[in-house]
Structure 1
Amino acid sequence: MNKDLKTVFIGINGYDYPYVRVRCYNFAKEVKKYGIDSRVLSFRDDFAPNLSGIEMLTLRDRRKLYLNLRALLDILIKKDDLLYIQKVHYHSAAPYFLSRMTGRKFILDYDDWDLDRSPLFNRSFLNKFFFGADGTEAVTGKIARDACACIASSSYLCDFLSQYNKKVFYIPTGVDTEKFKREKDNRSKDRINLIWTGNIWGNVIYDNVMFLLKCFSKINPSGKRVSLTIVASGDYYEKVKNDSAYLDYPGEVNFLNWVSPDEMNKILEGTDIGLLPLVTDEENKTWMMSKSPTKLFEYMAMEIPSVATRFGEAPKIVKEGVTGFLAENEEEFVEKLNLLISDDNLREKAGINARRDAEDNYSLNVLGKRLAQILKEILK
């Protein structure tokens, strides 16, 4: 491999969004350890830092064209050889068009089910000009088919991309186990702390947070003090706060505003049990099936056993009774919570096992090495 060959990781959003932070910034940093010259091109961080993450997804075509023109010039000036396109949104227009015109190789990284919500150009002729197709499914299929390889974050997405491309590799979102590790044990000696973190952006996430609040209201803490902390942001966060006030709880419920991703490990240092409800509806079923559970990996790295819904990627990651527990419904969710709350030894042992599993299978060190091997094969 020629060490002068350059790889650029191209994301639509900023560092504060997991799919860009992990799959662009962190992956780029990790592959450098193996001699790959890499950098990140973030449409938001580099070209539109004044816009929010949501605004980046709802721009008018004129602004989308402007951002793509800047990206096109940036790639040409910096002479990147391999283009790592994270997601099929309008930001993929510049690198894909450049690949078609110059023969540059590119990889498609797919971490979410976006076929029903991918923001391409609003005007059909622009999609046809840049992508040679119109419509999210047609554009996604064309880009996946033309990629020299596809990287998928979940088993479901691997199967989906395999219909277009023979070279599909599974690399979950994973976790930085150097940053997410329990350096201080800030867990309370006389209270069991539960946590959920995330962006409550719509009805489906609202329903999930209300589900876990209802579960918390029904637990039997067996004489122990318990608390639940929600660390969140999003348009539906205030609605959760208001609607949750009508429930009776066996312990404190604390609502914290979202913190920087680089500060989340400090919040988790005081946590005993992590929560990952995945209660879906028909509209979002495939999307939730496709997700790589970032928060679950963070729990594991911090020695926090979890209770997760038996759905999507969670059953492939959580080892029942070893690193955490899985639940089918509200009754079973409450049952598994009661089990972890009541048994201190089980909770501690499961947390240690979860940390070991994160280090062995889901750490950026492991995933970065795997990705570097793939890139080296392509860059030959």
Structure 2
Amino acid sequence: MPKKLLFLTPYPKDTAASQRFRFEQYIPLLEAEGWQVDRQSFIDDSTWKILYLPGHHWSKLWGTVKGFSRRIWMLLRANRYEFIFIHREAAPMGPPVFEWILAKVLKKKLIYDFDDAIWKENTTGNNSLASKLKWPQKVANICRWSHRISAGNAFLAQFARTFNPKVTINPTTLDTNRRHIPAPSDSGVLVIGWTGTHSTLKYLKILEPIIAELQRTYAFQFLVIADQKPELNVPNWRFIPWNKETEIDDLNLIDIGVMPLEVDEWAKGKCGFKALQFMALEKPVVVTPVGVNAEIVENGVTGFHCSTDTEWKEAIIQLIQDQSLREKMGAKGRNKVIAEFSVDSNQDNFLSLFEG
């Protein structure tokens, strides 16, 4: 009989970056190790398509009702699984009832995975109602009840260890063999680029005046890849809607990657995914050195750390003017990702979550 493992996820397969790059890409490896892997998302495909759009209140409500119904059905079938892997939470609102039943009533081994400081409130304006119903204090309880915790970085692991010593730092990783393959851009114009989601568009405001000022002196295009188009007051910029099928080709249009952040507790919990993508594709990256960004990006080696407007301007100017520096930093960045943040380098660490 094969060993059985259930993944409980917020979103459908192949939709959310946190799922794709934290565990979905390891599922073939688990199956090769003899696991029968099942999965159940709280949000279905139809609800996902409208989840972050304004309005659609009744459709979102119905999608939520269906999500809770699926979770109740899951409880009736949970005994067949040796481990239950929960990414972020079993349900997006309310107390951790499903986790409590699984761990305390059904005595299941929970592997709890999170890659943000989700014990902090951080919701978008389009879902203000959901923000009132969230229960961020549930994270501590789920940590206490878990067989093992998979934390995205040391800051998150430190929080988890205050409730449970069995914590593994499981970084967000990239497939550098089959997916994140660098390719030279032939656009003929220098491109500085940013990628993110609707929830991180606010960070572009940090760079907006800097990019606008630099474009008065230097010729370059500013490229934004996201799931929503931002409002930017810069002279020469381009928006590409994020698309999983063209994501790597679109990122390869960029010559210099940027990842600005606000310095707060939420940023400390982030796992540097955008910086890792740029580095894996041999792009030098300029970042705010908060949280794991300061570890992923080696200042002056694979990119630059910038905390002030002046530092951002100086770093970007240096990279604009020096193509050989861009190439050197890009090559070293990819080597670092391969060595420390690739699927190959992390696969044994990931599999260790399912021991015992």
- Say whether the fold is shared (TM-score over 0.5): yes
Unaligned residue ranges in structure 1 (runs of 5+) = 128-133
Indicate the residue corresponding to 2:180 in structure 1. Answer: 180
Indicate the residue corresponding to 1:67 in structure 2. Answer: 70
**1:195 corresponds to 2:154:** no
Which of 210, 217, 231 lines up with 2:225 in the alignment?
231
Residues 166-189 of structure 1 show CA distances to partners (whole Å, capped at 9, x for unaligned) of: 11111111222120112x42244x
Indicate the residue corresponding to 2:42 in structure 1. Answer: 43
Distance 1:118 1:141, change over 3 A: farther
Indicate the residue corresponding to 2:126 in structure 1. Answer: none
Indicate the residue corresponding to 2:89 in structure 1. Answer: 88
Letter in 1 for 2:163: Y
**1:254 corresponds to 2:254:** no
Letter in 2 for 1:112: D
Query: Does the 8 Å CA contact 1:25/1:40 hold for their aligned counterparts?
Result: no
Which of 186, 205, 214 lines up with 1:210 in the alignment?
205
Residues 193-218 of structure 1 show CA distances to partners (whole Å, capped at 9, x for unaligned) of: 111111133xxx44421222222122
Distance 1:29 1:360, change over 3 A: same
SS at match of 1:16: coil
Query: Does the 8 Å CA contact 1:8/1:39 hold for their aligned counterparts?
Result: yes
SS at match of 2:220: strand
Query: Does the 8 Å CA contact 1:47/1:67 hold for their aligned counterparts?
Result: no
Instruction: Between the two structures, name the one with larger relative contact order (CA 8 Å, sep ≥ 6).
Output: 1
Query: Does the 8 Å CA contact 1:11/1:85 hold for their aligned counterparts?
Result: yes
Displacement, 1:157?
0.6
Query: Does the 8 Å CA contact 2:3/2:36 hold for their aligned counterparts?
Result: yes
Distance 1:104 1:67, change over 3 A: same
Letter in 1 for 2:42: F
Indicate the residue corresponding to 1:351 in structure 2. Answer: 330
Unaligned residue ranges in structure 2 (runs of 5+) = 124-128
CA RMSD of aligned residues (A): 3.0
Displacement, 1:63?
4.4
Query: Does the 8 Å CA contact 2:22/2:173 hold for their aligned counterparts?
Result: no
Distance 1:221 1:326, change over 3 A: farther
Query: Does the 8 Å CA contact 1:31/1:369 hold for their aligned counterparts?
Result: no
Residues 316-368 of structure 1 show CA distances to partners (whole Å, capped at 9, x for unaligned) of: 11011111111011110111011111111110011111111111111122223
SS at match of 1:254: strand
Deviates most, 269-278 or 205-214? 205-214
Distance 1:50 1:230 in 2: 21
Distance 1:43 1:63 in 2: 8
SS at match of 2:353: helix
Query: Does the 8 Å CA contact 2:42/2:67 hold for their aligned counterparts?
Result: no
Displacement, 1:65?
2.9
The equivalences for 1:260-275 within 5 A come to: 260=244, 262-275=245-258
Deviates most, 139-148 or 36-45? 36-45
Indicate the residue corresponding to 1:293 in structure 2. Answer: 272
Displacement, 1:277?
0.4
**1:336 corresponds to 2:331:** no
Distance 1:11 1:370, change over 3 A: same
Displacement, 1:23?
2.6
Indicate the residue corresponding to 1:160 in structure 2. Answer: 159
The equivalences for 1:103-118 within 5 A come to: 103-117=107-121
Deviates most, 156-165 or 51-60? 51-60
Aligned residues: 339
Q: Could you tell me the TM-score, scaled by structure 2's length? A: 0.85
Distance 1:357 1:74 in 2: 42
Which of 7, 10, 23 lines up with 1:9 in the alignment?
7
Query: Does the 8 Å CA contact 1:111/1:292 hold for their aligned counterparts?
Result: yes
Letter in 2 for 1:214: P
Distance 1:83 1:46 in 2: 22
SS at match of 1:325: strand
Deviates most, 331-340 or 89-98? 89-98
Distance 1:257 1:231 in 2: 6
Distance 1:338 1:309, change over 3 A: same
Query: Does the 8 Å CA contact 1:71/1:94 hold for their aligned counterparts?
Result: no
Q: Could you tell me the TM-score, scaled by structure 1's length? A: 0.80
Matched-pair identity in %: 22
Distance 1:209 1:303, change over 3 A: same
Distance 1:29 1:334, change over 3 A: farther
Distance 1:299 1:30, change over 3 A: farther
Distance 1:300 1:308 in 2: 12
Distance 2:243 2:97 in 1: 32
SS at match of 2:287: strand
Displacement, 1:10?
1.4
Query: Does the 8 Å CA contact 1:24/1:86 hold for their aligned counterparts?
Result: no
SS at match of 1:83: strand
Letter in 2 for 1:180: H
